[in-house]
Chain A
Amino acid sequence: MKLITRINIQNLLISSLFILIAGLALYHYLTKIIDEEISERLVIQKTRIAQQIEKNGTYQNLPPIYEVKELPFESREDYSHFNDLFIYDSLDQDEEYFRELIAEENINGKRYQIIVRQIILEPHDYIYTIGYVIFWVLVSLILLIFITNYFSSKVIWKTFNHNLDLLKKFNLNHDVQFKESKIKEFQELNKELGQLLKKIKLDYLNLKEFSENASHEIQTPVAIIQNQLEECLQDQNLSSNQSKLITDSLKNLKKLSSLNESLLLLSKLENKQFQEKEKVNLNALIEEQIEFFQFLFEGKNIQVELDLKNCEINANSETLQIMIRNLFNNAIKHNIENGKINMELRGNEFILSNTSDILLEEPELMFDRFKKANQSSNSTGLGLSLIKQICDNHGWEITYVIQNNLHIFKITF
């Protein structure tokens, strides 16, 4: 829910409550005042008639407005009381609501009953009228809020929304320049966000520098160990046991350095480096890589079947090549002797499937880091993570399923 909507709903609820209370108060006081006024009028009217009778000794009847009749004399005190009632009005041919004052008075030794009446509104008339007014006030209020909403999001929230878009597109490689706002809260927000982003960028640069340094620092001792072990191998007097220990160490050293390299590549990808994109002819790239890998395909006697349609995509060519090579490495490494690899490239899909004797319950889990089908294998466990990360960076979707003993990778561009 938008903040402005939330505030408006709250305001609307409170104003409705107040308008309702105002309506009730209005009803209460209005009826009270009108009641008093009418009663007063009726008393005056009655007094006027009584004076006329006293002066002239005659009286007239004008039902239903007033009626006078003589009663047998009673030496009782004057009395009067009010009634509200419906009376049929022949003029209107309808029942009308009247207030009447029935008074009995002794005038000039005669007793008269004087009834004076006044048309009044029924209580529901008041409620209806007040309700009607309140209803339209509320409707106009809602309309007003909608209009204000519309314009304030156009004007007041414009810079905010603009800055929000900037934040959504935030990327460590580009600076963010917030639009200035005239509203104090937004100014503060911009200021704080600006400082936060500066700090994030600084942290990122520090981390990047740290990982670059770390990798350099790791690579140097690895290089030294490797060179010195290889120098040891030059010794003619090595026992076979010693040379085996040295070659095993060298193999593991190689593993360590490729692990280091893959981790660094992953963190670079996660930091959204490699952003430069260009048009790449994917089928040409795949064919070129197949040529590069030809000796490996032949080595395992793997039959490669191709169905590559012409396909041009917008991609970072460096990471795209790493991805294709990792896919090939994976498809060869886990393949069987005399196995098969099928590649299909058409439209916006690249499907690579290979035979394998590996059984996996949930192949998609293999995209996680350090997941290996066979824990003792020589792989780093990062190859598929790299592939996934490169796809993510390009906004491509990759799936990995196993069907009929075929391991199928499908990338949708």
Chain B
Amino acid sequence: MKVLVIEDEAALRNSIESFLREKEFLCEVASSFDEADYKIGLYPYDIILVDITLPDGNGLDLIQKIKIEDKDAGILIISAKNSVDDRIKGLDLGADDYITKPFHLSEVNSRINAILRRKKFEGSSLLKFDDIVIDLDAKTAKVQSEILELTKKEFDLLIHLVVNKERVLTKESIAEHLWEDQVDLLDNFDFVYTHIKNLRKKILRINGKDYLKTIYGMGYKFTSV
């Protein structure tokens, strides 16, 4: 999978780049409008991350260009939190999703994967991890061919964990993934614990494997045993 990250802020660009490389994406970066424009014209990409605010141009204009040059590319907008207008304009122009700063890298990963699945780049709607097979079309998850009875939130959580396997996820980032940013959860991370606990129990009941490692004080990690 080929990804282009258009972000003018070096530190942010670098952390996204190294994170995506770790996730085995082929990652290219562009730090300005012109550079991005040049690269879009040169290679086809599967996913393009676009920061709306660039020093030498508006990311929205880039989205228009991408739609002309490389219309199959999935587009993920990175926008400032308060620019609702930009977000709506971006989606109208054909972007697939948006993410607001500050974001969790795990969330970027989940969003990219969701776009790829929607665009069927993977050729399959099955997501596999060890004994677990998730059918994204049928919205079912199986462990050793036995169906896991999951609530909608638990299903979302499982996908997020599988996509971000082998990574420490903080409770905050999981909470934000599950309940957006609208719910004031600063005092309420127990809910994440409740969902994690239920999911762990349901998987344990079938194959006895505990994929969900609690990293004390930090969060959780989904890892093969």
Contact = CB atoms under 8 A, between A and B. Distances in A.
Interface of A: 212, 215-216, 219-220, 222-228, 230-231, 233-234, 240, 243-244, 246-247, 250-251, 253-255, 257-258, 260-261, 264-265, 268, 292-293, 295-296, 299, 318, 325, 329, 332-333, 377-379, 383
Contacts of B215: 233, 243
23 contacts: A215-B82, A219-B81, A220-B9, A222-B102, A223-B101, A224-B11, A224-B15, A226-B103, A227-B102, A231-B15, A231-B105, A240-B216, A240-B217, A243-B217, A244-B217, A247-B219, A258-B186, A292-B179, A293-B183, A296-B188, A299-B191, A378-B186, A379-B186
Contacts of A231: 15, 19, 105
B104 to A, nearest CB: 6
Given A233-B218, A244-B217, 14 more contacts: A216-B53, A219-B81, A219-B101, A224-B12, A230-B104, A230-B170, A231-B15, A247-B217, A247-B219, A251-B172, A261-B81, A299-B191, A318-B84, A378-B187
B49 to A, nearest CB: 13
Nearest to B82: A264
B44 to A, nearest CB: 27
Interface of B: 9, 11-12, 15-16, 19, 53, 80-84, 100-106, 153, 167-168, 170, 172-173, 179, 181-184, 186-188, 190-191, 194, 215-219
A257 B81 CA distance: 9
Contacts of A240: 216-217
A101 B149 CA distance: 136
Given A227-B105, A243-B218, A329 B183 contact: yes
Nearest to A235: B168
A224 B81 contact: no
Contact of A234 (B83, B84, B104, B167): B167
A234 B168 contact: yes
B80 A212 contact: yes
Contact of A228 (B11, B53, B172): B11
A301 to B, nearest CB: 12
Nearest to A219: B101
Nearest to B18: A231
Interface-centre pick from A230, A233, A253, A257 (highest chain B CB count, 10 A) = A230
Contact of B82 (A227, A233, A261): A261
A250 B81 contact: no
A247 B170 CA distance: 8
Nearest to A247: B218
B12 A220 contact: yes
A243 B219 CA distance: 10
Given A212-B82, A228-B11, A231-B15, A253 B102 contact: yes
Contact of B83 (A212, A228, A332, A377): A212
B184 A383 contact: yes
Q: Which 9 A-B pairs have the closest CB atoms?
A: A223-B102, A219-B101, A329-B184, A378-B186, A216-B80, A223-B101, A224-B11, A227-B15, A222-B102
